[in-house]
């Protein structure tokens, strides 16, 4: 059943009726002529489960008497404006909720640990990767001060200085991690900060792969396996062996006398 009802004297307000219809709002409207009518209507609304009654002073007094919330009605235009404000506020909340859900989805898919705090240092965002790094569920972390959860990773310093701290090496349990601390700045000053954590071993592996690929491109490829002439079993075995070694990122040493085609 609807939780809000509008009760007016003699007739409903045309502008309110039009507004309610336009936005398909579930707000029943009633009228009364006498005080007895108003009393009966408010009593009936309470029995129907209505919690808030909007109307003139007589109606709001009755609502208070029967334990309901009475909202004084100044005019039809005032109601329309109030409803417009309420709808706009709801629209903005939906937009903010959608935006937050979108950001949380992105954070959930990162291998990098991310935590964000507000101006008081209390955790506002805590992605799954950060849960794994710190061993703390987001439900426990959010709302608490990061400095109490992980004193060595506190963001208080960067919030005070306003300066970034990038690529700091930090021991976290039995592993080494790379830590970035970034203050969140606005015209009003520092409003929070973001902490990111990356596994140092993962960065090292990525760097090694990048260097390997860079060396391969720099050296250039002069020949391919198709350039090896011959169909003998020995040559077929050689091609197969070369293909196997080509699948690994490690450095391969090819030995042989000069002129045997090591390139």
Predicted confidence (pLDDT) at residue 219 exceeds the cutoff of 70: no
Where is pLDDT greater, at 10 or 88?
Answer: 10
pLDDT of residue 46: 95
Phi, psi (degrees; rounded to nearest 5) at 154? -55, 145
**Nearest residue to 134 via CA among 116, 143, 124, 146:** 146
| Domains of the chain, each with CATH number or no CATH | 4-99 (3.40.50.10660), 111-251 (3.30.450.20)
Q: Strand 189-199's sheet: what is its strand order?
A: 123-126, 113-118, 189-199, 175-186, 165-172
Exposure on the CB side of residue 107, measured as CA atoms within 13 A: 23
Q: What 8-state DSSP symbol labels residue 122?
A: B
The helix or strand, by DSSP H or E, that contains position 123, with its residue range, turns out to be strand 123-126
Give how far Cα 115 sits from Cα of 26, 32, 98, Å.
41, 57, 20
Q: pLDDT tens digit string along 244-259? A: 887 777 777 878 788 7
Q: pLDDT tens digit string along 34-61? A: 999 999 999 999 999 999 998 899 999 9
Lowest mean pLDDT among 107-111, 188-192, 214-218: 214-218
pTM listed for this prediction: 0.52
pLDDT of residue 73: 80
Residues 146 and 115: beta-carbon distance below 8 Å:
yes
**Nearest residue to 178 via CA among 209, 203, 152:** 203
Q: Cα(238)–Cα(242) distance, rounded to whole angstroms? A: 6
**What DSSP line would sit under 145-213, residue for residue?**
BHHHH-GGG--HHHHHH---EEEEEEEETTEEEEEEEEEEEETTEEEEEEEEEEEHHHHHHHHHHHHHH
Residues 40 and 30: beta-carbon distance below 8 Å:
no
């Amino acid at each position: 059943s609807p939780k809000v009802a509008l009760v007016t004297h003699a007739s409903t307000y045309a502008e309110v009726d039009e507004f309610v219809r336009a936005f398909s709002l579930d707000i029943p409207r009633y009228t009364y002529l006498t005080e007895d009518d108003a009393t009966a209507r408010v009593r009936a609304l309470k029995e129907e489960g209505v919690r808030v009654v909007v109307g003139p002073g007589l109606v709001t007094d009755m609502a208070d008497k029967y334990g309901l919330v009475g909202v004084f009605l100044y005019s039809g235009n005032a109601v329309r404006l109030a409803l417009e404000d309420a709808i706009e506020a709801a629209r903005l909340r939906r937009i903010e909720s959608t935006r937050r859900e979108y950001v949380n989805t992105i954070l959930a898919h990162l291998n990098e640990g991310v935590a964000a705090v507000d101006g008081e240092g209390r955790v506002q965002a805590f992605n799954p990767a950060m849960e794994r790094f710190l061993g703390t569920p987001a439900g426990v972390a959010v709302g608490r001060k990061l400095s109490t959860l992980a004193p060595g990773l506190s963001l208080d310093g960067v919030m005070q200085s306003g300066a970034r701290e990038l690529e700091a090496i930090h021991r976290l349990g039995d592993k080494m991690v790379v830590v970035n601390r970034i203050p969140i700045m606005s015209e009003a000053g520092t409003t929070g900060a973001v902490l990111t954590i990356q596994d140092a071993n993962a960065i090292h592996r990525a760097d090694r792969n990048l260097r390997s690929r860079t060396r391969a491109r720099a050296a250039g490829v002069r020949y391919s396996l198709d350039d090896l002439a011959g169909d003998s079993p020995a040559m077929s075995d050689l091609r197969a062996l070369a293909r196997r070694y080509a699948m690994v990122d490690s450095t391969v040493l090819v030995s042989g006398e000069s002129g045997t085609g090591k390139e």
